[in-house]
Amino acid sequence: MKKVLFPISALLLFISSGCIKESSPKEIKQLQERGGACSGEFSSLEIQSIGTMHNTVVMDVFENYDFETTNIDLELRTNFASAYSSLTYNQVTNIINVATSTFDINDHTASINDPLVYSYYDDICDLLNNFSTISELNEELDKLEESIIEDLECTDRDFLLVCISVARNSSSLWAPVSIGGSGYYDDIEEKLELMGAVQYRINWRNVAEADLWGAASAFFAYGFGLAVPGTNAAIAISIAYSAGFSSVTAMAHK
Q: State the Cα–Cα distance between residues 73 and 70, nearest whole angstrom.
A: 9
Q: State the Cα–Cα distance between residues 206 and 203, nearest whole angstrom.
A: 5
Inter-CA distances, 111 with 42, 155, 236, Å: 16, 8, 18
Closest CA to 243 of 11, 50, 20, 33: 50
Give yes or no for residue 184 having a pLDDT over 60.
yes
Half-sphere exposure of 13 (CA within 13 A, CB side): 6
Across all residues in the chain, what is the average pLDDT? 79
pLDDT of residue 193: 72
Give yes or no for residue 147 having a pLDDT over 80.
yes
pLDDT of residue 181: 96
Q: 185-232, pLDDT tens digit by residue? A: 999 888 877 665 555 556 889 889 988 999 998 888 864 333 334 466
Half-sphere exposure of 203 (CA within 13 A, CB side): 5
Q: 30-48, pLDDT tens digit by residue? A: 444 444 456 557 888 888 8
pLDDT of residue 13: 33
Q: State the Cα–Cα distance between residues 10 and 138, nearest whole angstrom.
A: 27
pLDDT of residue 24: 44
